[in-house]
Chains A and B, each alone.
Chain A
Amino acid sequence: MTSADYLQLGLYAAVLTAGVKPLGWYMARVYQGRAPGLEPVLGPAERLVYRAAGVDRSAEMTWQRYAAAVLGLSLVSVLAVYAVQRLQGVLPLNPAGQPAVSPDSAFNTAVSFASNTNWQGYGGEATMSYLTQMAALTVQNFVSAGVGMAVLVALIRGFARANSPTIGNFWVDLTRGTLYILLPLSVVFALVLASQGVVQTFEPYREVQLLEPTEQTTDGVTTPVTTQTVAVGPAASQVAIKQLGTNGGGFFNANSAHPLENPTPLSNFLQCLAILLIPAGLCWTFGELVDDRRQGWALYAAMAVIFAVMLGVCVWAEARGNPAVAAVPGVEQPAGNTEGKETRFGVANTALWAVATTAASNGSVNGMHDSFTPLGGLVPMWLMQLGEVVFGGVGSGLYGMIVFAVVAVFLAGLMVGRTPEYLGKKVGAFEVKMASLAVLIPCGMVLLATAAGVMFEDGRKGVLNSGPHGFSEILYAASSASNNNGSAFAGLSANTPFYNGLLGLCMLVGRFGVMIPVVALAGSLAARNKVPAGPGTLPTHTPLFVGMLVSVVVVVGALSFFPALALGPIVEQIAAANPAAGG
């Protein structure tokens, strides 16, 4: 690593941390019913939504009703995104004349965007019309993120309230989060991105002259190629929310490696910052809403520790380069492992992005993870397998981490033989059951889907790279879908009925298999009374607890996935280091 690398990574950490308090404070106000500065502008839109939908904003919901509303909205979202894709051929704003998306791919993409996964089996510029990108995909970038934040806020209310049968109103939480947090940030961010060169237009694809004409040979017929078709479109508006809402679905196939989606080092810095901005800020929001800011910092610290270690490993592995390429005569490798990486970002920024995008459940990429060194590729894979709780998705990351905190106080309680409590709430059998479900369901889904991918011929034939790396491609896809991340070892040909179906199922189970237990947890906690902290209470804002929490997250992740990782990236790393041994 060079000093310039250290400087960039340090700057990133500093700016991110500086944003935690102001943004977290603002978001807490939004969910408390105020929106400083923005109410005059967006208030009418908010009231319009409530009036049209018949929402009484003061009417509170039980956890069952809250969950029903979440599921209802998600179901309608899946149907809407599916319909727009299937009909895009006859709908307007389709200058490239994209035909209807195939049923299996449309299903996969609909589930993918409605579940905040944004796994992409398709290539954006070659598949989707401008209308689909905007009215289906961009909308879900907002809505699915708004849902995640709403569920988080409901869970926080569970801790903050006492003896309450209700946990808030989902429609109000969703609408306020979308209007007052996601939308204004996106408008500003989209314009900054446009200033850097992210394309934003409704014009059709541009045809430009090639300076050096070339030729194309297909089936033995050689035809001259004198022009280049440059795909354009309304990208900046989509990319802004794709980063802020931890969605990650690229406008173009190459995602944020594409120069028209991420043109400059500054756009890269800001996009990478946007991945973690809201998830980090929500830690402060949490502390603010439970009226103990130290609790928020404790969770932030636990996330930051895991993040920093993973980042160090990934940058180190990629900067060292690829031994196989170094062995090619006449190549010098000062820039590290550059395969699949863009010159303007370099290795450090690409590794940073890979860690940020998989720590959060974003899933966008600015380089190709499939071409990372085995160890460098293990890092993003394992971060997803940890359950997307290291910052995680907007809302979903923090509620996942709070679930782990519940597990951690439970384990601590077992050690000393006391009834565990967290934030003044006794953690009983129901809470531990719900927390366990939320932790174990995605783990189980990753392993089951990987097994299915390896066992079936349709799964194996999607693999691009042979040997352990091929296994890694399947394991990565299952991890990504089941934890609602969306990034890929993109060599895997996943746009097949087999993978569209399997991974679609993973995304549904990974999203709602966690979310519903969390809403139930919120309801059960809200109904409990508050117990004052006694001398035997484990304080949950101390370095000791942060250490425990980190250990629980890491141990669950390691125990669940070490055998699978050993078959993929670990054996490949060993083979790569010893080419003579048959690597």
Chain B
Amino acid sequence: MFAELRRAVVVLALLTVLTGGLYPLVVTVIARAAFPRQAAGSIIERDGQAVGSDLIGQPFSKPEYFWGRASGTSPVPYNAAASSGTNLGPTNPDLTKAVAERVDALRKADPDLGPVPVDLVTASGSGLDPHISPAAAAVQVRRVARARGLSEDRVRELVARHTEGRQLGILGEPRVNVLRLNLDLDALKGEGRTP
């Protein structure tokens, strides 16, 4: 038994160097060279300043921005240093209450709002979901257009530009990147009015 313990220490030490040291190091070096932007977190820069990540959603509640999924992170929504879902169970009254409150908030910002797609009023698994469904974007077009003094067609055109289809035509779900869309809305200088 003692001989095997000694071997265990040596084997683990060597495998630690190999799989815990060299392996991540080699992957980092190659990934940085081949995919520098992705390996660093897909950070979006505007005028030399980091304004977000393609992959990490941000909280929005003003009428002139598209809103993303609800977020279960604490202490603030979309806390990208502590990802989390709400973990509310399907029959938990807190879940239906939260959904109803989000519907009310959307209604308040647009009294003529029709039925709301469920993804817009439920929380994502990570609390950081950067996307909403195209349907969830479509119901917000009127509100955003009004708040910005833009035509609905102009906003719809922008939404279309930020809508991704299924990857390789098959995988995943169609989706709209909310932060990217809102950044481009803000970039429409001279169009509409500044909210």
Chain B residues near A331: list those with CB within 8 A.
99, 103, 115-116, 118, 121
Chain B residues near A231: list those with CB within 8 A.
80-83
CB contact between B55 and one of A45, A197, A228, A269 (< 8 Å): that residue: A197
Interface residues of B in 34-70 (CB under 8 A from A): 34-35, 38-44, 49-62, 65, 69
Closest to A350 in B: B125
Interface residues of B in 126-151 (CB under 8 A from A): 126-133, 135
Q: Known contacts being A269-B171, A331-B115, A469-B92, is A339 close to B16, with CB within 8 Å?
A: no
Chain B residues near A123: list those with CB within 8 A.
82-84
When the two chains form their complex, are residues A254 and B84 in contact, meaning their CB atoms are under 8 A apart? yes
Interface residues of B in 85-129 (CB under 8 A from A): 85-92, 95-96, 99-100, 103, 107, 113, 115-119, 121-129
A195 at the interface (CB under 8 A from B): yes
A142–B15 Cα distance when bound, in Å, is 9
Closest to A376 in B: B90
A46–B24 Cα distance when bound, in Å, is 19
Chain B residues near A350: list those with CB within 8 A.
125
B179 at the interface (CB under 8 A from A): yes
When the two chains form their complex, are residues A266 and B168 in contact, meaning their CB atoms are under 8 A apart? yes
For the complex formed, measure the closest distance between the CB of B135 and the CB atoms of chain A, giving whole angstroms: 7
When the two chains form their complex, are residues A218 and B168 in contact, meaning their CB atoms are under 8 A apart? no
Interface residues of A in 151-186 (CB under 8 A from B): 171, 174-175, 178-179, 183, 186
For the complex formed, measure the closest distance between the CB of B16 and the CB atoms of chain A, giving whole angstroms: 5
When the two chains form their complex, are residues B41 and A209 in contact, meaning their CB atoms are under 8 A apart? no
CB contact between A258 and one of B14, B31, B91, B126 (< 8 Å): that residue: B126
When the two chains form their complex, are residues A236 and B11 in contact, meaning their CB atoms are under 8 A apart? no
When the two chains form their complex, are residues B76 and A138 in contact, meaning their CB atoms are under 8 A apart? no
When the two chains form their complex, are residues B28 and A200 in contact, meaning their CB atoms are under 8 A apart? yes
Chain B residues near A138: list those with CB within 8 A.
19-20, 23-24
When the two chains form their complex, are residues A466 and B92 in contact, meaning their CB atoms are under 8 A apart? yes
Chain A residues near B81: list those with CB within 8 A.
125-126, 205, 229-231
Chain B residues near A48: list those with CB within 8 A.
14
CB contact between A345 and one of B10, B40, B173 (< 8 Å): that residue: B173
For the complex formed, measure the closest distance between the CB of A313 and the CB atoms of chain B, giving whole angstroms: 15
A330 at the interface (CB under 8 A from B): yes
CB contact between B11 and one of A53, A136, A260, A572 (< 8 Å): that residue: A53
When the two chains form their complex, are residues B1 and A72 in contact, meaning their CB atoms are under 8 A apart? yes
A179–B15 Cα distance when bound, in Å, is 9
Chain B residues near A365: list those with CB within 8 A.
125
For the complex formed, measure the closest distance between the CB of A92 and the CB atoms of chain B, giving whole angstroms: 12
Looking at A367-375, A403-411, A537-545, the stretch in contact with chain B turns out to be A367-375
Q: Which B residues lie at the A interface, using CB under 8 A?
A: 1, 4-12, 14-16, 18-21, 23-24, 26-28, 30-32, 34-35, 38-44, 49-62, 65, 69, 75-92, 95-96, 99-100, 103, 107, 113, 115-119, 121-133, 135, 166-168, 170-173, 175, 179, 182-183, 186
Query: Nearest 5 pairs between A and B by C-beta?
Result: A265-B172, A257-B125, A491-B87, A465-B89, A265-B171
